[in-house]
Structure 1
Amino acid sequence: MPFVTRQYVPSPTRRQVLRSAGLAAVATGAATLAFQPAQAADPMFAHGVASGDPYADSVVLWTRVNPSPEAAPGSGLGPAATVNWEVASDPDFSRIVSKGSVKTGPERDHTVKVVAGRLQPGTPYWYRFTFGRAVSAVGRTKTAPAAGAQVERLRFGVVSCANYQAGYFSSYRHLAQRGDLDAVLHLGDYLYEYAPGEYQARDVVVRPHDPAVEMTTLSHYRRRHAQYKTDPNMQALHSAAPFIVTWDDHEAANDAWSGGAENHTEGAEGLWAARRAAANQAYAEWMPVRYQPGGPLYRRLDFGSLASLSMLDLRSYRSEQAANGLDPAVDSPDRTITGDAQMDWLLGNLTSGGPQWKLVGNPVMIAPVRVPSTLSLAEVAGVQKLMGGTTIDGVPYNVDQWDGYEADRSRVIRHLRDQGVKDTVFLTGDIHSGWACDIPADPLTYPTTGDSVAAELVCTSVTSDNLDDIMNTPPRTSSLAVEAAIRTANPHVKYLDFDSHGYSVLDVTPAGVRMDWYVLADRTARASAATLSTSFRVGAGTGKAVPATGGAL
C-alpha cells in the first residue's frame, strides 16, 4: 500500500475552512493551542485527522474519507476516491507550503496516508484534507529539529494501554489542552482485541467494543480502529500534535509472539499468521506511522543534537514466552525478544556518538524485578493477574517482558556498560502502573558496589485495570504494602504506583530528562480531572532516577 501523491487542482476557499477544525484561534507559529473537541467539519471525515513520525523535512498525515453510505469501516465496499491535502505555515491557510492528492478505496478501508515533504525543520504546521466540498478538521503538527541543531528542550506526552471498554480517554483531553507538546509517544496497546464482557473496568463495560466480538479478521480490526478514532478526546490529541507509535500485544492479541499468542487458538480462530497479517494491515492503514506491512515497525527519529528516539517492536520477532520464571528457557541465548536484526540496530543506536540522549520507546519493562515471598496469597494473585506472571517467589515474575529474555537484556546492559554509553533512558508502557527505575549493571551488587547503566521511566495505563481494580479495593490502600515490598526487594526501583490511571509528560533538556506522572480522578467519568502525582529526573551522565519537584508548566 504505497503512499501516492500528486499535485492537484486549486484548494478550497478560505471561507470553506474557517473554523472547521477543533483547533481554533491559534496564533501563527505559537506554541499554545486553544483546545476544543476536534470534530470533523463534515461527516465525510468522521474519524478526524492525525499526523506522525516527524522528520526534520517531512511528516506523515492521515485521515479517512467516507465517500458513500456503504463505505463503512471494515465493509470492503464503496468507490475509489481522490482526497486532496494541504499543509500551511499558518492556521488560516493563507501560506500553503505543500499540497497534493492521494487515491484511496476499499482496498485500504478508505484511509488516507501521505508523507508531506519539503518542510522546514523545527517548525509548526497546519494541515487539512478535502473531498469535493467536504473539508476535514484542521490539525497541527511540528517537524523535528534539523540534524545537529542545538535544542534546549523537547516535551513529549507519554501514554499506553487505552482500553475503550474500561473508561473514557480523559488523558488524551488533558494532553491536548496543554498545547506545548513536540509529539506524543504511544508505547503500545493503542486498542484492545477483546469482545464486550471479556476485559473492561472492574468487570463493568463502560462503553462496549465494536464489533461485539474478539478481533480476528481484517474487517474486525478495521472496525475497532475506526471506533477508537471516533473518540473526541483521541481526535483532539491527534489533531494537536504528531504521534510516534509502536505496538505491543493487544493491537493483535494478548501476549503475542512471532508464532502465536496467548489469546489465540489455532483452528477455532484461524491461522495466527493470517490474524497477525490482518492486524498489521489495519494498523498500517489506520495509524499515522511510517510503516507498511512486510516492513519493519522499529525505527529511529532524531531531534537535533539533543535526543534520538529508537522505537522498538517487541512482538514480531520474539521467541515464545517461557513457561514460568523457573523455566531454563528464560536464560537461553537461543531465545530473543528483539530478533537479531533489531538487536544489532538497537545496539548501533546506543552509542556515545550522535545526539546526547538515547531515548528508547520500549513496549515492555526492561528493568529486572523480583517479587518477594512475603506477600499474601491475595496480593500474589493480584500481582500475577496484573503482570501476567506465573512464578512469583524470588524469580522473574513476568516472562512476557525482558525478565523472560535474560540473554537479550544482558546483551543490552553489557553494551551500555562496556562501551561507556551515557544518557540512555528507556520509556515504557504495558504494565498498567507507574515506575521509575535504575537499570543496574549487576542487580546482585547494586547499589553497594554496582552501577546503573541507564534509567527506565514507565507510564501507567490510560484506562486499563491495575492492581486496586483487580483486588477490588480503593486506590492507594491495599497496594501500598505491595509496592513497599517490591521496592525493598528491588533497590533499583525508585518509584512504583500500582493503582493510578493517567498519562505522563516527558521533558528533555541537556541537563536532564524528567517525567511527570498525572493521574485521573476517575477513568469512568467523561470529564475526569487530572492532578500531578510525582516527578522523577535523570541527570545528564548519571543513569539514575531521582525524585524531582514540580511539573512541566
Structure 2
Amino acid sequence: MTTESNRRRFLRNVTLGSVAVGGVLPLAACGSDDDTPAPEAPKVSYQHGVASGDPQSDRVILWTRVTPAADGEVPVSWEVASDAQFATIVKSGSTTTNAARDYTVKVDVTGLAAATRYHYRFAVGAQRSPAGSTKTLPTGNVDTVRLAVFSCSNYPAGYFNVYADAALRNDLDASVHLGDYIYEYGVGGYASDTAATLGRLSVPPTETIQLADYRRRYAQYRTDADLQALHAAMPMIAVWDDHEIANDTWKNGAENHTEGTEGKFADRRAAAIQAYHEWMPTRLPDAARPEKIYRSFDFGNLLSLHMLDTRNIGRDQQVDVTAYLQGLAHDPARQLLGAEQNTWLATQLQTSKGQWQVLGQQVLMSRMSIPASVAQDPGVATMTAYLTALQTPAGARTPEQAALVAQPKIPYNLDAWDGYPAARDAVLAAVKANDRNLVVLAGDTHNAWASDLTDSTGQVVGVEFATSSVSSPGFEVYLPTVPPAQLGGAFPMLIDDLVYADTSRRGYLVLKATAQEVRADFVFVNTIASHTYQAVVGQSLRTLPGAGNRKVVPVA
C-alpha cells in the first residue's frame, strides 16, 4: 500500500482544523425565559485534536484540549451522535477547564449502547473541535476482535507513518499503546540525529523533569497530524512504559534520573503521571491513586485484555549482568508487578469469561537468553561461529565448537521479565492453574518478535507477540555491521523459544481474535524519513486454543 502526499494532506486538514462547519453546540438549556445575553465565549483553538479511550460496553472517555487566547476558566460543551453528520445526538453535556489541568478536557460518557460506533465533538461557543469516532466494547457472543498495537513513538526520530497507516484502516475495534508514547530527552538526545532536518526538534529543548516540561512535551507530540488522525479514528487503550517518566524506571528511581541534581524522583514521577492522565484518554481505576493504571477490558466472551504496569507500581530495581551471574535475579522475592497487582491479575485470570486472555504490557516476557560469546561480541563472525558449531553433528565438532555449544546463555535484556524470573513464573503458574489461552503483547525493544512462552520446566504455556516501534530505532542502529536479514534469521536459532524476529523495520501489530485462533499481522512501513511511505504485512503468525495448541504456528 502506498500513501501519497494528497492523502496525507487530507488527514492533516481533517485533524488540524480548529473550527468545523455547521451548527453550534448549545451551552444553555433550550426554552429558557431568560433574555439576558449569554456571556461571550472565550476565543480558543484546538491545536491538539480529539481522542477517545478506555472503552467499556456502556461508556468511553472523550478528550480534547483547548488553547485559549487568554488564561481563565473555559466552558466546553460536548456531544455524541450516532451518525457522522450529528443529525441524531444521543448524549451531550458541558464542563469547564483551566490552567490547573493544562486546558485539557476529559469526559466519561456513560449510558451508551454496546458494540456501537459513535461520533463526538466539542465546542466553546461557536468554536467547534474536529470530530472524532469511537466505539464501545461488545457483550455476549463475539465473532471477531481486531486491535492495532503500538509502542515506542519518539518524535525527533522520524515521522509517525505507522500511526498514519493504522488511522486509514476501517476494520479496527481499538488501538492499544504499550508505552513510550513520549520520550523525556532534550534536543540532541536519544535518536534525534535527523530531528532538525525533519523539523522535529524536541520541545522543550531540555529533558522533561517538571510538570510544565512534561505538559509541553505532550503538547508537541499531540500537534502531530498522524497521531491526531489515529486518535480521531478509534478509541485507544494505553499504558505507560519508562520514557513517560525516565529511562529504565523502577518503583523508586530510574537510570535517567539523578537524585538531588534533578530533584526527587518521587516528585518527577508524580509530575509525569499527572501530565500523562491530563493528556491521555485514560480512566483512573482509583482516583485517589493516579499511579495505579492496571485495568481490564472485556470484548464479550471472546477476549479479555488486561493492561499491566511493569514499571512504576511494583518493580524492584534492575540487576546488571554481574549480579545476574551471581544469581541475584532469581531471588523469589523480586517483584515486577508487585504483590497487589499480582493478586489482581490472578483474580482476573480466574474469573474472566474471555476465551482468550491477553496481557497488554511493556517488556518482553519470553525467555531471550543468547550465548555468552554472542552477548559479549554480537558481530557476524561470532554469530556465524556459534551457529556453525550448533549445526555441526556432536561427534564432528572441534573442541572449540564443543565449547561454544556448551557455553552458558544469558539474557540480552535484564530490564525485561528475564531479569525477574520468579515474577514471570508466578504469572505463568496462574495461567496454567486456570487453563487459559494466553497471548502476551509487548513493546519496548523497537524490534518485532514472536515467541512461545515456557515456564521453568520448559512447558509451553502461551505465546508472545511483540510489536516493533513507531519510530525509535532497532538493532539496525546498534548492530550496523550485521545485515538485518541475517540478524533476523539468526535470532530464532540463537534463542530457544523465539520463532520470529524483525530487527530493522518500524511498524505495528494487528491482532485478530476469533474463536478458532489469534492471528498476529506484523505491519511495517518502509520509511519514517518521508511523508510518502509504503506499508506491507511482513509476517503473519497465529496461535490456537486448547491445551497442546498454545504455541506460535504459521498461518494456514
**TM-score computed with the length of structure 2 as normaliser:** 0.84
Change (3 A) 1:139 1:359: same
Query: Is 2:305 aligned against 1:314?
Result: no
Letter in 1 for 2:289: G
Residue 535 of structure 2 corresponds to 530
Change (3 A) 1:38 1:393: farther
Letter in 2 for 1:347: A
Residue 193 of structure 1 corresponds to 184
Q: Give 1:469 shift.
A: 1.8
Q: Give 1:452 shift.
A: 1.0
Task: Provide the C-alpha distance between the structure 1 equivalents of 2:130 and 2:118, rounded to a whole number of angstroms.
Answer: 14
Residue 456 of structure 1 corresponds to 464
Q: Give 1:524 shift.
A: 1.4
Q: Deviations over 1:188-235 (max 9, x none)?
A: 100100111111156765421100011000000000000000000000
Task: Provide the C-alpha distance between the structure 1 equivalents of 2:343 and 2:379, rounded to a whole number of angstroms.
Answer: 37
Aligned match for 1:412, one of 416, 420, 427: 427
Query: Is 2:89 aligned against 1:90?
Result: no
228-237 vs 420-429, greater mean Cα deviation: 420-429
Q: Deviations over 1:96-124 (max 9, x none)?
A: 11111111100000000010111000000
Change (3 A) 1:523 1:352: same
Contact 1:201 1:464 in 2 (8 A): no
Task: Provide the C-alpha distance between the structure 1 equivalents of 2:445 and 2:282, rounded to a whole number of angstroms.
Answer: 23
Task: Provide the C-alpha distance between the structure 1 equivalents of 2:146 and 2:12, rounded to a whole number of angstroms.
Answer: 18
Q: Which runs of 5+ in 1 are unaligned?
A: 1-21, 25-33, 70-77, 384-391
Letter in 2 for 1:40: G
Equivalent runs, 1:291-370 vs 2, <5 Å: 291=284, 292=287, 294-295=289-290, 296-316=292-312, 317-324=314-321, 325-351=324-350, 354-370=353-369
244-253 vs 408-417, greater mean Cα deviation: 408-417
Residue 39 of structure 2 corresponds to none
Contact 1:434 1:497 in 2 (8 A): yes
Residue 545 of structure 1 corresponds to 552
Aligned match for 1:151, one of 124, 142, 145: 142
Q: Which runs of 5+ in 2 are unaligned?
A: 1-7, 20-43, 383-406
Query: Is 2:376 aligned against 1:399?
Result: no
Task: Provide the C-alpha distance between the structure 1 equivalents of 2:194 and 2:225, rounded to a whole number of angstroms.
Answer: 24
Contact 1:375 1:482 in 2 (8 A): no
Contact 2:158 2:195 in 1 (8 A): no
Equivalent runs, 1:202-351 vs 2, <5 Å: 206=198, 207-291=200-284, 292=287, 294-295=289-290, 296-316=292-312, 317-324=314-321, 325-351=324-350
Letter in 2 for 1:185: V
Letter in 1 for 2:180: D
Query: Is 2:506 aligned against 1:501?
Result: yes
- Structure with the larger helix share: 2
Aligned match for 1:39, one of 16, 19, 37: 16
204-213 vs 503-512, greater mean Cα deviation: 204-213
**TM-score computed with the length of structure 1 as normaliser:** 0.85
* C-alpha RMSD of the superposition: 2.2
Letter in 2 for 1:319: D
Query: Is 2:497 aligned against 1:492?
Result: yes
Task: Provide the C-alpha distance between the structure 2 equivalents of 1:352 and 1:264, rounded to a whole number of angstroms.
Answer: 39
Residue 152 of structure 2 corresponds to 161
Change (3 A) 1:494 1:331: same
Letter in 2 for 1:321: Q
Residue 61 of structure 2 corresponds to 60
Q: Give 1:393 shift.
A: 5.9
Residue 7 of structure 1 corresponds to none
The structure number with the bigger radius of gyration is 2
Q: Give 1:486 shift.
A: 3.1
Contact 1:23 1:240 in 2 (8 A): no
Amino-acid identity (%): 41
Task: Provide the C-alpha distance between the structure 1 equivalents of 2:122 and 2:307, rounded to a whole number of angstroms.
Answer: 28
Task: Provide the C-alpha distance between the structure 1 equivalents of 2:177 and 2:532, rounded to a whole number of angstroms.
Answer: 22
54-63 vs 497-506, greater mean Cα deviation: 497-506
| 3-state DSSP of counterpart to 1:350 | helix
Task: Provide the C-alpha distance between the structure 2 equivalents of 1:90 and 1:202, rounded to a whole number of angstroms.
Answer: 44
Residue 108 of structure 2 corresponds to 115
| 3-state DSSP of counterpart to 2:261 | coil
Letter in 2 for 1:318: R
Letter in 2 for 1:39: L
Residue 448 of structure 2 corresponds to 434
Task: Provide the C-alpha distance between the structure 1 equivalents of 2:193 and 2:376, rounded to a whole number of angstroms.
Answer: 20
Change (3 A) 1:36 1:302: farther
Q: Give 1:518 shift.
A: 1.1
